[in-house]
Chain A
Amino acid sequence: MSIIIAENLSKSYPVAVKEPGLRGTINHFFRRTYRQIAAVQDISLEINPGEVVGFLGPNGAGKTTTLKMLTGLVHPSSGQIRVDGHVPFRRQEAFLQKITLVMGQKQQLLWDLPALDSLKINAAVYNISDREFQRRVGELTEMLSLEGKLTQAVRKLSLGERMKAELLAALLHRPKVLFLDEPTLGLDVNAQVGVRDFLREYNQLYQATILLTSHYMADITALCQRVLLIYQGKLMYDGQLDKLLEQFAPYREIYIELVQPLPTEKLMYYGDVQLVEGRSVRFIVQREKLTSTVSQILADLEVLDLTVTEPPIEEVIGRVFQTGFV
């Protein structure tokens, strides 16, 4: 029995259009024209309890708008949603007790007070008894390594600590369904790993359903078996992650900075040359050949710097879009 069901979900926003210049300003004042932005177009999905699902997509794809509709923040233009039997936009208390939405750059904790004070408000709002409150704060503090941090003013915490404190506040009422919008945005690598480990542990401990949006591939690969690819408001792919990766991103990018520029023909030996700018070169290399290629480059050429990166997710998705549905 699915815990989240969305059918033909769509959302359009009217956005006022203004021509540049003085004439445009005058027209804008007297007679506004509007353009419809179709943020989400006809998305249908079903998610089962306990699943950890990733929403992938570039900026502006419609991931956040979809999450907002699923949590009842935004009224859909059309379509049906049921989350654990509730209609999200009705914002019934029973529904709000079961969910949480964590948005990477938004905070609910009061800035000038210790996090503990904001947590007390949450405990009262969600009807959590004092004893249960102490227990849950203790447990989550340990899981998130936030010992001693909850009594400091939130503004004094580092970004990573603040994000973890936000997570704690969001999970105090032990929701069944977690909606996470870019939870690791702006965090350093250690903090990112910390958040991912925590979410995995939480999912295993409480069988919570997790929907995660990110444009960091590492978040998705660490946590999700299933991904939904959203591009220009439409659902492009809904299935297993490893199939998607195998099919569309079986390569890595290598950037090197050489001591001296070299002719492109010579560089082509090592991999698919994408870009040569003076001493900087960018290659694309098949994942299986990555280690051998890197060793060869370092052995043969005089290299000042070498970086290996995953292809940007936008490229992968762009390719999915170009080649059509899987």
Chain B
Amino acid sequence: MKPILRKIVILITVYYAYMVEYRSELILWVLSGSLPLIMLGVWTQAAQKGQFGLTPLDFARYFFAVFLVRQMTVVWVIFEFEKEVVQGKLSPKLLQPLDPVWHHVASHISERLARFPFVFLLIGLFFILYPQAVWLPSFSNLLLFAIAAFLAFALRFVIQYTLAMFAFWTERAIALENFWFLLYLFLSGMIAPLKVFPEPIRAIALMTPFPYLIDFPASILIGLPVDLNRGFLSIIGWFFFFLGLNRLLWRAGLKKYSGMGA
């Protein structure tokens, strides 16, 4: 097996075993992503009067799709990384000929794999409770959704990992993440689909990476009209932008790293 493939497979299998140790926590983590479901309740009620351009059914499907996207794109690398820098636990990883980021990528992917059974259960539950909302996306939509969701995960990861780099300079990079999360909440489509934003706000939002993390993949899944080219090109463009920034900050940050905590 090619060396790089072997490393990826082994990292994922070992971290999967690690995640399975946390079975009960996994259920809770899945459920803690339930903000979209609350939004679902709020918006379906509000849309009864019909002034939003989307029916209550559209909203129900949209927020359910948002819930799914969130399950697939949740990222927590900044918390782990900041802990590693502050406690000096980054050191053993720096001594190995493998960029430490791969451990985090592997643990995220394996957590996703471990999470899937619970997510499928919740999908089933949703459809039992709201049979009128059941829909089957076309195969092409499903495929595009899978690609968009995966890219959204990659983008979210690289953005948060870039914010995590500030842990080399401040001891509270997580404060940056909290601020970013606020923007993410409002501009990504988590609180409301971009369709219902006033036009100027929507135009501004589409120039940021946020809508491509939630609204874009969710809209594909429920069959809303989206600009696919713009969407995919934007995600890929933002990904490489943050990747470049990340590598610069990583190199600079290592010079500041003192391996403290020893």
- Please list the residues of chain A having a beta carbon within 8 angstroms of any beta carbon in chain B: 13, 64, 68, 71-75, 91, 93, 96-97, 99-101, 103, 105-108, 110, 112-113, 117-118, 120-127, 181
- Please list the residues of chain B having a beta carbon within 8 angstroms of any beta carbon in chain A: 3, 6-7, 10-11, 14, 17-18, 21, 88-89, 91-98, 254-259, 262
* Distance in angstroms between the alpha carbons of A64 and B259 in the assembled complex: 10
| Known A-B contacts A64-B262, A74-B258, A103-B262; A121 and B95 likewise in contact (beta carbons under 8 Å) | no
What chain A residues lie within 8 Å of B254 (beta carbons)? 75
Say which residue of A13, A71, A74, A113 sits within 8 Å of B14 (CB atoms).
Answer: A113
* Distance in angstroms between the alpha carbons of A105 and B225 in the assembled complex: 56
Additional A-B contacts beyond A106-B88, A117-B18 (12; CB < 8 A): A72-B94, A73-B91, A73-B94, A73-B259, A75-B257, A103-B91, A106-B91, A106-B262, A112-B21, A113-B17, A121-B14, A127-B3
* Distance in angstroms between the alpha carbons of A64 and B6 in the assembled complex: 34
What chain B residues lie within 8 Å of A103 (beta carbons)? 91-92, 262
Find the A residue at minimum CB distance from B262.
Answer: A64
B89 to chain A, nearest CB (A): 7
B98 to chain A, nearest CB (A): 5
* Distance in angstroms between the alpha carbons of A110 and B15 in the assembled complex: 9
Q: Are B89 and A106 in contact (CB under 8 A)?
A: yes
**Interface residue SS majority, chain A:** mixed
* Distance in angstroms between the alpha carbons of A72 and B254 in the assembled complex: 10
What chain A residues lie within 8 Å of B18 (beta carbons)? 110, 112-113, 117
Q: Are B97 and A97 in contact (CB under 8 A)?
A: yes
What chain A residues lie within 8 Å of B256 (beta carbons)? 75
What chain A residues lie within 8 Å of B91 (beta carbons)? 68, 73, 101, 103, 106
A-B CB contact pairs (8 Å), 7 listed: A105-B262, A106-B88, A108-B92, A110-B18, A113-B14, A120-B14, A127-B3
What chain A residues lie within 8 Å of B3 (beta carbons)? 124, 127
Say which residue of A13, A99, A127 sits within 8 Å of B95 (CB atoms).
Answer: A99
| Known A-B contacts A112-B21, A113-B17, A124-B11; A96 and B258 likewise in contact (beta carbons under 8 Å) | no
| Known A-B contacts A73-B91, A103-B91; A68 and B10 likewise in contact (beta carbons under 8 Å) | no
Find the B residue at minimum CB distance from A166.
Answer: B92
Q: Are B257 and A73 in contact (CB under 8 A)?
A: yes
* Distance in angstroms between the alpha carbons of A123 and B92 in the assembled complex: 15
Find the B residue at minimum CB distance from A111.
Answer: B18
* Distance in angstroms between the alpha carbons of A201 and B194 in the assembled complex: 67
Say which residue of A93, A101, A113, A121 sits within 8 Å of B10 (CB atoms).
Answer: A121
* Distance in angstroms between the alpha carbons of A212 and B255 in the assembled complex: 25
* Distance in angstroms between the alpha carbons of A106 and B91 in the assembled complex: 9
* Distance in angstroms between the alpha carbons of A72 and B91 in the assembled complex: 10
Q: Are B95 and A73 in contact (CB under 8 A)?
A: yes
Q: Are A101 and B95 in contact (CB under 8 A)?
A: yes
Find the B residue at minimum CB distance from A73.
Answer: B259
What chain A residues lie within 8 Å of B14 (beta carbons)? 110, 113, 117-118, 120-121
Say which residue of A74, A122, A127 sits within 8 Å of B257 (CB atoms).
Answer: A74
B4 to chain A, nearest CB (A): 10
